[in-house]
């Protein structure tokens, strides 16, 4: 059965029947659906958009998040106010008749789902199922389990993870799919392995699971970790695990070595039950192997969905000069030969659109001729949004020497992240203090898909200042690169792979502390960025086309999904084995 596509299944590409079931706590599906918070959700959405373009037989599972991720409002002091964004799944999705149940704190909770059809470039559909516990018969509390993305406490989170992992795995079958690969995008979905193990045992007690049973589950599971810091991994106390998951399951998980430092660790659980695991950039794979030395963890570097994140003028330019780029993003390598004039004009039009939007949002009229820097991402402390203000006087001097400097900021802090919120206030405070005729600093409210696309494409330089090695990958600089916008960034995450000094952007040198790294940031602005921008427009155009040719051609999900397909989902080695012992791989 192949419900994912009306077209015949391609045996050349995927010689085994069945689907990949992809699980993610957040997915940026559609700009009008507030079902994501930031980079992880955007990555999941871009993965599915490319899977649809490439015709990969894949179906996806997430939670419906009826109350949405919050809308951000900032007052003049930069204090963040959060407003819920309820949305109605019936506006975008179709309800499925299937129902499954999960056990949460000893209660039986019924789960339904909504289907969103994500169509690719050639019509192949990747269905996304949004799991929903707002069902008659569930208690008031349980009906709210799929309301808030990253809301509530860890009790709420573990209950949501039961719905996503165990509810989702059961829903795969209830919908009639034969999944031979279960992809856990981050540890939030790790409990799906328990549902598979229980189904392997015919619903029997987990205590009776043998090594062979475990192998059967492992054969079908793959995992992507996204977090380079131990504290970032999802963890739950033994007490929570016993109370919410049950004593029998908790005992089994302990025996299987899924606890670390006395806590149930979802990354460990996912790793124990996966035949393949990867980090999301070369360095992140290395850091993950150091954190979990007993596992072989590969790297597949992230990307972004090229047509989603390139501006209309850039798309028109590419269509004219490199028509094959949409079918296969590798052809963007040919951007090396783009006429300087074409790229300068396409960028100028993109920048105009951004500045018009800024004017509409804030009333502030910025100058399209002035060097404009962008910094927009989650306001997490390790991203150091205030590094640019380490020496305010020097920043003013740089702006004066450059004949003007404009800096556009945006980003939401998680509602419970007080240090993150303080960072936003600090940026807003500095912006008010420093802004004058030559230096203009603006913090834009409510960073989301639409604003993110405008900013990454429309500024002149994309700035990123994470503290090493906390940035697993980062993807906003990839969006910029596809638009010919160079990065000025710490050598962390993807930028280690993407930075060719002076050709695709510039590296902020590693220092012993924030002050040293800020000093390098200023120096690069003074000696490299500003002179090139002001005095050598032709060389700036070359930098822009290098950025598309070298980085746009690689840091995209078209390449990334092909890597997942052959390295993670369907390695040729396993396919060859499966031809011999049919059922083994088809599960
Ligand atoms: C791309 C994107 C991100 C990811 O930003 P990084 O800090 O580069 O990982 C976050 N939020 C939104 C809205 C985005 O579009």
Q: Assess if residue 389 is contained within a domain.
A: yes
Each residue's pLDDT tens digit, 395-430: 999 999 999 999 999 999 999 999 999 999 999 999
pLDDT higher than threshold 50 for residue 583: no
Each residue's pLDDT tens digit, 109-131: 999 999 999 999 999 999 999 99
**Same domain (yes/no): 551, 567:** no
- DSSP state for residue 467 in the 8-state scheme: P
How confident is the model at residue 203, as a pLDDT?
83
Q: Assess if residue 7 is contained within a domain.
A: no
**Same domain (yes/no): 462, 582:** no
**CA nearest ligand 1 atom 12, residue:** 38
Q: Which residue range(s) make up the domain with 246?
A: 19-303+560-586
- DSSP state for residue 556 in the 8-state scheme: B
Ligand 1 centroid vs 38 CA: distance in angstroms? Answer: 5
**Same domain (yes/no): 180, 310:** no
Ligand 1 centroid vs 447 CA: distance in angstroms? Answer: 9
**Same domain (yes/no): 206, 321:** no
**Same domain (yes/no): 285, 265:** yes
Cβ atoms of 36 and 28 within 8 Å: the answer is: yes
**Same domain (yes/no): 37, 172:** yes
Beta pairing class for 107-119 and 94-95:
antiparallel
Residue of 40, 42, 85, 302 best suited for mutating to test ligand 1, as the one with most atoms within 8 Å of CB = 42
Residue of 26, 68, 475 best suited for mutating to test ligand 1, as the one with most atoms within 8 Å of CB = 475
Each residue's pLDDT tens digit, 522-581: 999 999 999 999 999 999 999 999 999 999 999 999 999 999 999 999 998 887 777 665
User: 435 is written with which tokens?
Assistant: 């802004």
The whole-angstrom separation of Cα 340 and Cα 345 is: 9
* Ligand 1 pocket at CB < 6 A: 38-39, 42, 377-378, 447-449, 452, 474-476, 479
Each residue's pLDDT tens digit, 302-327: 999 999 999 999 999 999 999 999 99
The whole-angstrom separation of Cα 167 and Cα 100 is: 7
Q: Provide CB contacts within 8 A for 79, sequence distance 6+.
A: 421, 425
The whole-angstrom separation of Cα 334 and Cα 321 is: 9
**CA nearest ligand 1 atom 4, residue:** 39
Ligand 1 centroid vs 26 CA: distance in angstroms? Answer: 13
Mean local confidence (pLDDT), 275-290: 97
Ligand 1 centroid vs 252 CA: distance in angstroms? Answer: 38
Q: Assess if residue 465 is contained within a domain.
A: yes
User: Which secondary structure element, helix H or strand E, spans residue 505, and what is its range?
Assistant: strand 505-508
pLDDT higher than threshold 90 for residue 13: no
Q: Assess if residue 11 is contained within a domain.
A: no
**Same domain (yes/no): 112, 214:** yes
Instruction: Give the nearest ligand 1 atom to 478 CA.
Output: 8
Instruction: Give the nearest ligand 1 atom to 466 CA.
Output: 7
Instruction: Give the nearest ligand 1 atom to 37 CA.
Output: 11
One DSSP character per residue, 225-287 reads ----SGGGS-EEEHHHIIIII-HHHHHHHHHTT-EETTEEEHHHHHHHT-SEEEESSHHHHHH
Nearest Cα neighbor of 192 from 106, 100, 125, 118 is 100
pLDDT level of residue 12 (50, 70, 90 thresholds): very low
**CA nearest ligand 1 atom 1, residue:** 476
Share of the chain above pLDDT 90, in %: 91
Mean local confidence (pLDDT), 352-379: 97
Nearest Cα neighbor of 217 from 194, 186, 248 is 194
Q: Assess if residue 8 is contained within a domain.
A: no
**CA nearest ligand 1 atom 9, residue:** 474
**Same domain (yes/no): 458, 390:** yes
Indicate which CATH number applies to the domain containing 394. 3.40.50.2000
Across 324-399, the runs of DSSP E, i.e. the strands, are 371-376
Q: Assess if residue 69 is contained within a domain.
A: yes
Q: Assess if residue 318 is contained within a domain.
A: yes
**Same domain (yes/no): 359, 274:** no
pLDDT level of residue 230 (50, 70, 90 thresholds): confident
How confident is the model at residue 335, as a pLDDT?
98
* Degrees, nearest 5: CA angle 488-491-497: 100
**CA nearest ligand 1 atom 3, residue:** 39
Q: What is the 3-state secondary structure (H, E, C) of 291-320?
A: HCCCCCCEECCCCECHHHHCCHHHHHHHHH
Ligand 1 centroid vs 466 CA: distance in angstroms? Answer: 13
- pTM of the model as a whole: 0.95
**Same domain (yes/no): 114, 237:** yes
User: 443 is written with which tokens?
Assistant: 């913090």
Ligand 1 centroid vs 378 CA: distance in angstroms? Answer: 7
pLDDT level of residue 7 (50, 70, 90 thresholds): very low
How confident is the model at residue 564, as a pLDDT?
98
Residue 374: beta bridge partners? 408, 462
Q: Looking at the 3D structure of the chain, how many domains does it have?
A: 2
Q: Assess if residue 1 is contained within a domain.
A: no
**Same domain (yes/no): 275, 322:** no
User: 33 is written with which tokens?
Assistant: 């659906």
């Amino acid at each position: 059965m192949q419900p994912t596509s009306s077209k015949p299944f391609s045996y050349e590409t995927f010689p085994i029947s069945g689907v990949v079931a992809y699980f993610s706590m957040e997915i940026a599906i559609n700009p009008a659906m507030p079902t994501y918070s930031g980079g992880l959700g955007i990555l999941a959405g871009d993965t599915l958009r490319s899977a649809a373009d490439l015709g990969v037989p894949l179906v996806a599972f997430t939670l419906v998040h009826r109350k949405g991720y919050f809308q951000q409002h900032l007052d003049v002091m930069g204090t963040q106010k959060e407003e819920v964004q309820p949305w109605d799944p019936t506006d975008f999705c179709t309800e499925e008749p299937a129902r499954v149940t999960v056990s949460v704190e000893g209660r039986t909770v019924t789960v339904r789902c909504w289907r969103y059809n994500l169509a690719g470039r050639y019509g192949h559909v990747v269905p996304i199922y949004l799991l929903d516990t707002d069902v008659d018969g569930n208690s008031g509390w349980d009906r709210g389990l799929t309301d808030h993305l990253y809301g509530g406490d860890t009790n709420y989170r573990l209950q949501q993870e039961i719905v996503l992992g165990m509810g989702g795995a059961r829903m795969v079958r209830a919908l009639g799919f034969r999944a031979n690969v279960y992809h856990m995008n981050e540890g939030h979905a790790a409990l799906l392995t328990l549902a598979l193990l229980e189904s392997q045992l015919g619903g029997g007690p987990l205590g009776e699971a043998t090594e062979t049973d475990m192998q059967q589950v492992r054969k079908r599971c793959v995992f992507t970790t996204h977090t380079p810091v131990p504290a970032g991994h999802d963890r739950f106390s033994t007490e929570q695990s016993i109370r919410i998951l049950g004593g029998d399951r908790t005992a089994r998980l302990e025996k299987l070595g899924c606890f670390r430092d006395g806590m149930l660790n979802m990354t460990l659980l996912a790793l124990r039950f996966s035949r393949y695991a990867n980090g999301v950039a070369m360095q992140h794979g290395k850091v993950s192997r150091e954190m979990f030395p007993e596992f072989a963890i590969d790297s597949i570097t992230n990307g972004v969905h090229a047509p989603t994140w390139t501006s209309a003028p850039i798309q028109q330019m590419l269509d004219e000069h490199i028509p094959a780029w949409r079918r296969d993003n590798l052809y963007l390598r040919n951007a090396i030969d783009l006429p300087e004039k074409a790229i300068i004009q396409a960028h100028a039009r993109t920048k105009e659109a951004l500045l018009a939007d800024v004017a509409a949002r804030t009333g502030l009229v910025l100058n399209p001729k002035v060097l404009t820097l962008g910094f927009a991402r989650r306001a997490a402390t390790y991203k150091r949004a205030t590094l640019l203000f380490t020496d305010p006087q020097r920043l003013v001097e740089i702006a004066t020497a450059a004949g003007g400097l404009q800096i556009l900021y945006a980003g939401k802090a998680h509602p419970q992240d007080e240090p993150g919120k303080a960072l936003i206030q600090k940026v807003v405070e500095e912006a008010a203090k420093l802004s004058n005729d030559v230096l203009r600093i603006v913090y834009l409210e409510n960073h989301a898909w639409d604003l993110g696309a405008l900013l990454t494409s429309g500024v002149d330089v994309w700035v990123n200042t994470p503290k090493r090695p906390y940035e697993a990958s980062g993807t906003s600089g990839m969006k910029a690169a596809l638009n010919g916008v160079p990065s000025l960034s710490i050598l962390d995450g993807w930028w280690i792979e993407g930075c060719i000094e002076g050709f695709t952007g510039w590296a902020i040198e590693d220092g012993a502390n924030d002050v040293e790294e800020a000093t390098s940031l200023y120096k690069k602005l003074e000696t490299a960025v500003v002179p090139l921008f002001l005095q050598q427009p032709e060389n700036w155009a070359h930098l822009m086309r290098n950025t598309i040719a070298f980085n746009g051609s690689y840091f995209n999900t078209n390449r990334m999904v092909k890597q997942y397909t052959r390295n993670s989902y369907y390695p040729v080695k396993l396919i060859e084995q499966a031809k011999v012992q049919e059922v083994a791989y088809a599960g």
